[in-house]
Amino acid sequence: MWFKNIHLYRLPKPWDVAAATLEAQLASHALQACGAGDAQSFGWVPPRDGSPLLHGVNQQYLLALGVEQKLLPASVVNQFAKDRAKEIAEAEGRKVGRKEMREIREQMTAQLLPRAFVRRRTTWGWIDPVNGWLAVDAGATAKADEFIGHLRKSLDSLPAKPLKVARLPSAAMTGWLAEGDAPAGFTLDQDLELRSPEQAKVRYVKHALEGAEIRQHIAGGKTATKLAMTWNDRISFVLTEDLQLKRLAFLDLLKEESENQSEDADERFDIDFALMCGEVARLLDDLVEALGGEVAAD
């Protein structure tokens, strides 16, 4: 179990909450299959077959939000609606108006939903009550918001807040590039996005970032919005201006540790999760320090 992206939230450190309490609250909001007339359904699912909804390893917790969605393309609804409008026009000798057409589309949607295919997707979350982290593995902000929103509905209390640091990530990344020097424990890799105040963007992919060209862009007023980095030769990632970590890659050295310790799939799953939690928690500590330290939330 290795996350690919991290949307980060701060919890009290430590967050003194009983796993049994969390489990019971999640169970009250478990995923229910889409009904015949439902377009989608949200709820918690076991992170691993046969596991509880809150999968715990060494006081670290993994949870999974399941989403069932009916696949009903608008083009299909529109075609059925047009056919129905044509039937009405021919039978009654009149043209169907806009308001009636909207009502026909709604009727067609209701009729087609029970026959639509269902797709399920899963969004993963990690709760670290010891170090006070809540992380969501989502590439899009909307999916992270969806996860946090459902978690707030499920729990009696969720004291999660966005992490605030003393130095804006964009300013820090721009400074590291201008100085040609990464913070302690990190190296700068070869992917970069720069943006001007006028929203013009320059992207570099697998490109050396030490040259004069980069510094010229910065001198011209562009700032870094995304920067690829590696932490302690163990985890590579892309840091964004919103303090998100994207494209996480746990390097071979770390995965070899897991392979050497596991004997079966269940054990491997738990070892991978435990290693990920421990390494990412240390990475986050170093990253927060590199960004000037944490600022107390309002």
Evaluate whether 96 touches 89 at the Cβ level (below 8 Å).
Answer: yes
Q: What is the mean pLDDT of the chain?
A: 90
Q: 76-90, 91-105, 256-270: which range is least confident on average?
A: 256-270
> Looking at residues 93-116, what average pLDDT do you find?
83
Alpha helices in the chain (DSSP H): 19-27, 74-92, 98-112, 141-154, 169-179, 212-219, 252-261, 265-290
Q: 38-47, 55-64, 160-169, 233-242: which range is least confident on average?
A: 38-47
Q: Is the pLDDT of residue 91 over 80?
A: yes
Structural Rg of the chain based on CA atoms? 24
Can you give the pLDDT at residue 77?
77
Evaluate whether 245 touches 228 at the Cβ level (below 8 Å).
Answer: no
Evaluate whether 65 touches 47 at the Cβ level (below 8 Å).
Answer: no
Q: Is 115 helix (H, G, I), strand (E, B) or coil?
A: helix
| Cα 138 to Cα 123: distance, rounded to the nearest angstrom | 7
Q: Is 290 helix (H, G, I), strand (E, B) or coil?
A: helix
| Cα 116 to Cα 107: distance, rounded to the nearest angstrom | 15
Closest CA to 190 of 211, 167, 169: 211
Task: Give pairs for 75-78: CB < 8 Å, separation 24+.
Answer: 76/112, 77/105, 77/108, 77/109, 77/112, 78/105
Evaluate whether 34 touches 70 at the Cβ level (below 8 Å).
Answer: yes
| Cα 189 to Cα 208: distance, rounded to the nearest angstrom | 8
Q: Is the pLDDT of residue 258 over 70?
A: no
Can you give the pLDDT at residue 151?
97
| Cα 236 to Cα 73: distance, rounded to the nearest angstrom | 38
Evaluate whether 37 touches 114 at the Cβ level (below 8 Å).
Answer: yes
pLDDT digits 0-9 by tens, 215-234: 999 999 999 999 999 999 99
Q: Is the pLDDT of residue 255 over 80?
A: no
pLDDT, greater one: 34 or 146: 146
| Cα 115 to Cα 113: distance, rounded to the nearest angstrom | 5
Domain boundaries, the chain: 7-72+117-162, 74-114, 169-290
Which single residue is written with the structure tokens 């009904």? 35
Evaluate whether 123 touches 137 at the Cβ level (below 8 Å).
Answer: yes
Evaluate whether 67 touches 123 at the Cβ level (below 8 Å).
Answer: yes
* Phi, psi for residue 222 in degrees, rounded to 5: -80, 150
What is the model's pTM? 0.83
